[in-house]
Amino acid sequence: MASRKEGTGSAATSSSSTTGAAGKGKGKAGSGDSAVKQVQIDGLVVLKIIKHYQEEGQGTEVVQGVLLGLVVEDRLEITNCFPFPQHTEDDADFDEVQYQMEMMRSLRHVNIDHLHVGWYQSTYYGSFVTRALLDSQFSYQHAIEESVVLIYDPIKTAQGSLSLKAYRLTPKLMEVCKEKDFSPEALKKGNITFEHMFEEVPIVIKNSHLINVLMWELEKKSAVADKHELLSLASSSHLGKTLQLLMDRVDEMSQDIVKYNTYMRNTSKQQQQKHQYQQRRQQENMQRQSRGEPPLPEEDLSKLFKPHQPPARMDSLLIAGQINTYCQNIKEFTAQNLGKLFMAQALQEYNS
């Protein structure tokens, strides 16, 4: 991830000036408004992402790639993309930045938009809210204000409908990340809750006329029947998997909470001790005064009682965000399934 930051830094300095100027026109609407209201994706990009995952992604590994395009008013147009090779141990000398640079240079020769506008990642059952993602997205968004991360869920797509979502960091979170200060006070000041970490941007898919012609051609030529996976009632394994992941996260969260509780308890104990010490000091000083001796010097309390480290709040925020995403997914899933079950019931009643 670190190398990608440098890559975007050097690659984006030229593009950020143009895209920044384009984005600021609408971005001034308010500090809460972000510069991108809609993401418009070419059909080609969708197909490429699908293909990349299908060929190179197995199991829980994520596949990633870079999105290229333009910013038009308040719309982010994504017109092309290229995949990133995966990290393997025997690729120690592989230079990500160089790969990216070469790829973009070559694409420029064939008139493909060479402006970075974001990156995409596949996800396993919806678990993508991680520190790594946050860091990457922050570096992208810092360099290019309008960048998004596209999350592609291949398992949900295989069940019948394309699952592609675009996320950005909220401006509040951007502020906090900029200062690199993840302490509880800073987060409290920013008033960041887990719901306000990522914002979802609506996606539309757009095709040129020629691609539409191509689609007609394909439709005529390839009469492959749909699999109708979408209407299958036996999808409990998917639900089971998601619940399993949810349970893991909730366990982590509870551990986090326990840590926080111990911290609070320790701090309050420490406060008490400090208080007691101060009182004893005062008493002694009074006694000494009454005896005419010089008072004891005030000692630095903070050296005697080292303050405890507050537990990192960022991680628990991320976990909460992830749990939130899982819950959303589950709710969507159950809504779909309930619909299907009611349909099955209606059909059965009609028969009997």
Partner 1 sequence: MATPAVPPSTPPATPTETPAAASDPAPAPSPASVSAPAPAPVPAPTPAPASSSDPAAAAATTAAPGQTPASAPAPAQAPAQSLPGPALPGPFPGGRVVRLHPVILASIVDSYERRNEGAARVIGTLLGTVDKHSVEVTNCFSVPHNESEDEVAVDMEFAKNMYELHKKVSPNELILGWYATGHDITEHSVLIHEYYSREAPNPIHLTVDTSLQNGRMSIKAYVSTLMGVPGRTMGVMFTPLTVKYAYYDTERIGVDLIMKTCFSPNRVIGLSSDLQQVGGASARIQDALSTVLQYAEDVLSGKVSADNTVGRFLMSLVNQVPKIVPEDFETMLNSNINDLLMVTYLANLTQSQIALNEKLVNL
Break the chain down into helix, strand, coil percent, rounded to 5: 60, 15, 25
Smallest distance, partner 1 to C-beta of residue 11, A: 15
Among residues 169 and 323, whose Cβ is nearest to partner 1? Answer: 323
Smallest distance, partner 1 to C-beta of residue 213, A: 5
In the chain, what is the greatest distance between 2 CA atoms, to the nearest angstrom?
106
Q: What are phi and psi of 71, to 5 degrees?
A: -110, 125
Among residues 107 and 174, whose Cβ is nearest to partner 1? Answer: 107
Cα(349)–Cα(352) distance, integer angstroms: 5
Smallest distance, partner 1 to C-beta of residue 19, A: 19
Among residues 257 and 301, whose Cβ is nearest to partner 1? Answer: 257
Cα(58)–Cα(66) distance, integer angstroms: 19
Three-state DSSP class for 79? strand
Q: What are phi and psi of 2, to 5 degrees?
A: -65, -40
Among residues 254 and 276, whose Cβ is nearest to partner 1? Answer: 254
In the numeric block, the tokens 């009074």 are attached to 286
In the numeric block, the tokens 């000036």 are attached to 17
Smallest distance, partner 1 to C-beta of residue 221, A: 6
Cα(195)–Cα(323) distance, integer angstroms: 11
Cα(254)–Cα(251) distance, integer angstroms: 5
Smallest distance, partner 1 to C-beta of residue 284, A: 36
Smallest distance, partner 1 to C-beta of residue 288, A: 41
Among residues 1 and 233, whose Cβ is nearest to partner 1? Answer: 233
Among residues 97 and 112, whose Cβ is nearest to partner 1? Answer: 112
DSSP element (H, E) containing 290: helix 236-291
